[in-house]
Structure 1
Amino acid sequence: MKAVILAAGKGSGLGAITMTRPLPMIRMAGRTLFDNTVDLLKQSGINDIFVVVGHQKEKLIERINDHSQNGLNLHYMVQEKSGGIGRAVLKVKDKISPGEYFLLIYGDTVTAENIFFKAQQSFHAFKCPIASICLPPSNEMFGNVFLNAQMQITKIIEKPKGDSLGNYVLSGVFVLPESFFGLLEKNRGSMEKALKQLVEDGSMKASMWEDEWLDIVYPWHVLEANKILMDSWQESSIAKSAVLEGNVTIQGVVHIEEGAVIKAGAVLEGPCSIGKGSYIGNNSLIRSYTSLGDHCSVGYGVELKNCVILDNTRVGRLSFIGDSVLGERVDIGAGSMTVNRTVDWKSVSIKDGKRLVDSGLNKLGTFIGDDAVVGAGNTIEPGTTVAPGKILEPRYSVTR
């Protein structure tokens, strides 16, 4: 069976984090979301993979070429203009043979276990189109699904309101026939209408997914996805070329990659991940659910807590980065702090365009885009987004 990954969208709700990269190229738990998806497909026995790219496509195309050199048969199609999910699916129409079924995957979803293998099992059992469904903590943002006792899907409501809410939601994984392209064309590229027609024809069954699942919509979902992946780790992995000086404390499961240097007095509380060639200064505290990218530098006495930090970023001495996401090549000056709660412990909101979105979390820090500079001594309000390339001047208590 062939697989199609939809990776052309911008992920506009993620703000600064996806302005400069495709959403699947966000690195968490030591690897990109795209790498995690491809590895799960490979474990499922799928080697023919088509990826629809669009926003910031060059970075994803480069990664696709890397995987192709490792024995996978990966190809990409370009969706130049955002035209919705259905238009993206139609980009691979001539790659699927008549009578053939294919696995369709939304590239912004995260699972640690193999949801693709489960969908294939359901397809072989039912021998008909399949939609993977799950029970999320909240179902208001997703297409709601209703089914009967035989696992046949009887109704899909794409944007449910009020009493229309169901228990199950679409989890972004489908097994569809080649004839589905005809339904898309008939419905002018509307994925919603094409799926509803399959349901009305009585030919779509559900594959129940009962493990962790997440659709990455807002910035704090990157932290949640990172946690899902790290919680699946069973054992530590420390590269032979990593250097751990005396009096380094390691607690729990850690992944430390090639060439990393951990200086004396540092404490690593797993699960956490330290990327290739990264430097952890003396007496630093790396707390649980921290993912540090490649070639990063963490200065003396820094505390990192539940954060995702991408490649080539520097955090100056005596800083605190908590419940935050930092892009690539970010420069954090000494003594800076991402405050991660309000004084009254109310949930933190983040600005999405002109509106505020309540995260529902009472601990949430800052989201900083690529190449931003935060000068020494800055204290950043919870829920702040810093645009790529922005410079926050140092905060001096005494000036010349």
Structure 2
Amino acid sequence: MQTVVLAAGEGTRMRPLTARTPKPMLPVAGTPLVERCLEEAIAAGATSAVVVVGYEADVVREAIAARDWPIPVDTVEQAEQRGTADAVRTARPALDDAPFVVLNGDVLYDRASLAALYDADAAVGSYRVENPSAYGVLRVEDGRVLEVVEKPDDPPSDLVNTGAYVFPAAALSWLDVDESDRGELELTDVLQRACETTDVRSIPFDRWLDVGRPWELLAANEWTLAELDREVGGEVSDDAELRGDVVVENGATIEPGVVIEGPAYVSAGSHVGPNAYLRGATYLGPDTRVGHGVEVKNSVVMAGSAVPHLTYLGDSVLGTDVNLGAGTTVANLRHDGAPVELTVKGDRVSTGRRKFGIVCGDGVKTGINCTINAGVTLSADATVAPGETVLRDR
């Protein structure tokens, strides 16, 4: 089935990680979010795909064009981000007059559930959550979706909209919707019309993750790394120990004394050790460095970043070209045991995680022997002085 993948947004909730990198290109176990979405769509039954790009469009377009896809994959540009209905409308000239699937390119869907969606004539993916008021909520009777309500105070159910749809061909003419109260052209208005005219089925998803904020990128890597099989292609010292499912790409180097407890992923060009310890769903991007006496736990370290000697990094996300000075220590646990909070679009928000460290934008540099508190965000190119204790964002 023809498929539209939405990948035009700026990703402001993911700042500072998206200050220079478009959110669709953020890595999930070695594969950018949007490419992973395409892979899952193809496995589920997509026969062609149109990716709608916008923010940093050339970066996304070039990455997609560089892959040899088994189906036709094209890109179209949404010049102004006016909403999801407008994004699909941008793709409309590239679609045939036939049913079509729409997926959000920054979401993880489990493959079996996505395949069930592709088998439907008209459908929306649904997922049960504890706090449905934060989402678009579906009212469902006997498997049929009757209504979608955006962020209601009194939710009609605990089933939320996963952003995965099968629309009938007629929906191509329904995309010219009015602006919502948020000033956007919403695809949920198209869904509501489909519910009123068509038997739209609710397809329950066993797993689903909206990757909108930094700790959700960490969760996305945890999910995906847990599904990897062991594959060692790089140069690994006989005195290093790889435990469990560890991927070491060709061109990576693992020095003597290194212990890596899977699941973990070490990308090409990376250098680990000697005497380093990696554990707990850790992803090292291309050309990263982890030095002597370093412990990296359950973290994402993006391309070109360095975690040199005598440093602890836990439950954190580092952007590209970050350099942590020797002896940098990251806290990842509050003394009161409450979930760590992080700043999202100016507000402190609970991550829902008992353990969470820091978020560093691209180009951050810390001095030697500094300490950074749990839940601190460092903006792109921020610096930390030697010996400094950082308790607030900068």
- TM > 0.5: yes
> Which residue number corresponds to residue 173 of structure 1?
164
By how many angstroms is 1:200 displaced?
2.2
Amino acid at match of 1:352: V
1:208 aligns with 2:199: no
CA contact (8 A) 1:153 1:202 kept: no
CA contact (8 A) 1:86 1:190 kept: yes
Q: Which whole-Å CA distance do the structure 2 matches of 1:168 and 1:156 have between them?
A: 10
The Cα RMSD (Å) is 1.8
Amino acid at match of 1:102: F
1:367 aligns with 2:363: no
Could you report, residue by residue, the CA deviation over 1:189-219 in whole angstroms, capped at 9, with x for unpaired residues? 3323221122122431112222x21001221
Amino acid at match of 2:213: Y
> Which residue number corresponds to residue 190 of structure 2?
194
SS of the residue corresponding to residue 75 of structure 1 reads strand
Give unpaired runs (5+ residues) of structure 1: none
SS of the residue corresponding to residue 92 of structure 1 reads helix
> Which residue number corresponds to residue 25 of structure 1?
25
By how many angstroms is 1:137 displaced?
4.7
Closer/same/farther in 2, CA of residues 164 and 371 from structure 1, 3 Å limit: same
Q: Which whole-Å CA distance do the structure 1 matches of 2:329 and 2:131 have between them?
A: 32
Q: Which whole-Å CA distance do the structure 1 matches of 2:16 and 2:374 have between them?
A: 15
Closer/same/farther in 2, CA of residues 204 and 60 from structure 1, 3 Å limit: same
Alignment of 1:1-400 (within 5 A): 1-67=1-67, 69-98=68-97, 100-121=98-119, 123=120, 127=121, 129-149=122-142, 151-161=143-153, 163-187=154-178, 189-210=185-206, 212-233=207-228, 235-239=229-233, 242-395=234-387
Closer/same/farther in 2, CA of residues 202 and 39 from structure 1, 3 Å limit: closer
Q: Which whole-Å CA distance do the structure 2 matches of 1:326 and 1:76 have between them?
A: 29
**Bigger mean CA deviation after superposition, 269-278 or 343-352:** 343-352
Q: Which whole-Å CA distance do the structure 2 matches of 1:71 and 1:64 have between them?
A: 12
Q: Which whole-Å CA distance do the structure 1 matches of 2:137 and 2:55 have between them?
A: 27
Could you report, residue by residue, the CA deviation over 1:73-126 in whole angstroms, capped at 9, with x for unpaired residues? 22111112220111111101112222x0111001111135344322112x1xxx
By how many angstroms is 1:44 displaced?
3.0
Closer/same/farther in 2, CA of residues 72 and 388 from structure 1, 3 Å limit: farther
Q: Which whole-Å CA distance do the structure 2 matches of 1:139 and 1:191 have between them?
A: 19
Amino acid at match of 2:260: L
Q: Which whole-Å CA distance do the structure 2 matches of 1:353 and 1:46 have between them?
A: 35
CA contact (8 A) 1:327 1:370 kept: yes
Could you report, residue by residue, the CA deviation over 1:157-205 in whole angstroms, capped at 9, with x for unpaired residues? 11121x3251211111111123213222144533232211221224311
Could you report, residue by residue, the CA deviation over 1:280-313 in whole angstroms, capped at 9, with x for unpaired residues? 0111100110011011111101000010111111
CA contact (8 A) 1:96 1:178 kept: no
Q: Which whole-Å CA distance do the structure 2 matches of 1:306 and 1:54 have between them?
A: 31
SS of the residue corresponding to residue 174 of structure 2 reads helix
Give unpaired runs (5+ residues) of structure 2: 180-184, 390-394
Question: How many equivalent pairs are there?
Answer: 384
Identity over aligned pairs, percent: 27
Q: Which whole-Å CA distance do the structure 2 matches of 1:313 and 1:54 have between them?
A: 27
Q: TM-score of the superposition, structure 1-length normalised?
A: 0.91
Q: Which whole-Å CA distance do the structure 2 matches of 1:112 and 1:303 have between them?
A: 31
By how many angstroms is 1:42 displaced?
2.5
Amino acid at match of 1:83: R
Q: Which whole-Å CA distance do the structure 1 matches of 2:17 and 2:156 have between them?
A: 31
By how many angstroms is 1:383 displaced?
0.8
Q: Which whole-Å CA distance do the structure 1 matches of 2:131 and 2:388 have between them?
A: 44
Q: Which whole-Å CA distance do the structure 2 matches of 1:41 and 1:361 have between them?
A: 30
CA contact (8 A) 1:291 1:309 kept: yes
CA contact (8 A) 1:154 1:202 kept: no
